[in-house]
Amino acid sequence: MSRVTRIVDPRAVPIALGYLPVAFAFGLAAVSLHTPAWFPILLSFFVYAGASQFAALHLVATGSPTLTVILAVWLINLRMALESVSFFRRVHWPRPPRALALWLTDETFVAASLGPAPEHWEFLRMAWLPYAVWVAGTVLGALLGAILPNLLKDAFGISIDALFITLLVSTVRDNPRTVWAALAGGAATVLTSPLGGWSLLLGMVLGALVHLAIPDARREAQP
């Protein structure tokens, strides 16, 4: 093992490279939506969950109630509990290093789930670089956002919607039946729009419940 690979697991490098432009776009979008620069930086530092950070940014910018923003982030990040359950059923770490769960993301979860179950120091070598790059990219985007022309910042504002679409397509591609959850979530949001900021939360919950109500054909086909 070389000196570099003793510090960084090679699997961390493509994850970090992928995070950098997304984090930069997040910092830039936040400033273009007129939030203070510290807001996206603190979100990246303490929350470290891409899709939910973009959602929080969008909801803050559109004036949604504070409770709606918080609950929406929790709902979007519910899947992390599932990933954490799956991951920690494989590994057998002592209790203190289990705090590394805070650096479990969709990508590090997938990378760490391939091959034999990692020891905690192996996971640490894989997880610290993507986290550092995510925070650094956000700082860079937020700081540069203050000096970039408004024209460019306006253009980047659209990138949030694009990211929502790309994340949705990726989700549906992994699990095609979730398209019903997305459609039901969208429809429920429109139908409950007279309720203001709460319509988003209702859309999420109703969309997920519709998905649950649709029979799972694969499971029923099992003997």
Partner 1 sequence: MSSVRLLVIVGATAVGTALLRYLPALFATRPAPHRLERLLQAVPAAALGALLTQSAPTALPPGHPLTLTLALAAALVLAVRPGGVLWPVAGAVAVAATGLLLHWT
Residues 46-75 that bind partner 1 (CB under 8 A): 46-49, 51-52, 55-56, 58, 60, 62, 66, 69-70, 72-75
| Chosen residue from 34, 92, 94, 223 binding partner 1 by CB under 8 A | 34
Rounded to 5°, the CA angle 187-80-165 comes to: 40
In the chain, what is the straight-line distance between the N-terminal and C-terminal CA atoms, in Å? Answer: 47
Q: Name the percent of the chain in helix, strand, coil, to the closest 5.
A: 80, 0, 20
Total residues binding partner 1 (CB under 8 A): 102
The verdict on 10 binding partner 1 (CB under 8 A) reads no
Cα–chain center distance at 28: 17
- Where does this chain touch partner 1 (CB under 8 A) — which range of 5-13, 121-129, 138-146, 167-175? 167-175
- Where does this chain touch partner 1 (CB under 8 A) — which range of 3-11, 121-129, 138-146, 195-203? 195-203
Q: Contacts with partner 1 in 130-159 (CB under 8 A)?
A: 151-152, 154-159
Report the C-alpha gap between 125 and 111 in whole angstroms. Answer: 12
User: Is the Cβ of residue 7 or residue 47 nearer to partner 1 in the bound state?
Assistant: 47
One-letter identity of residue 185: G
Considering only CA atoms, which of 137, 120, 115 is closest in space to residue 11? Answer: 115
Q: Contacts with partner 1 in 92-131 (CB under 8 A)?
A: 95, 98-99, 101-102, 104, 107
The verdict on 160 binding partner 1 (CB under 8 A) reads yes
DSSP one-letter code for 117: P
The verdict on 164 binding partner 1 (CB under 8 A) reads yes
Cβ at position 210, least distance to partner 1 in Å? 8
Mapping DSSP onto H, E and C, the string for 29-76 reads HHHHCCCCCHHHHHHHHHCCCHHHHHHHHHHHHCCCCHHHHHHHHHHH
User: Is the Cβ of residue 111 or residue 125 nearer to partner 1 in the bound state?
Assistant: 111
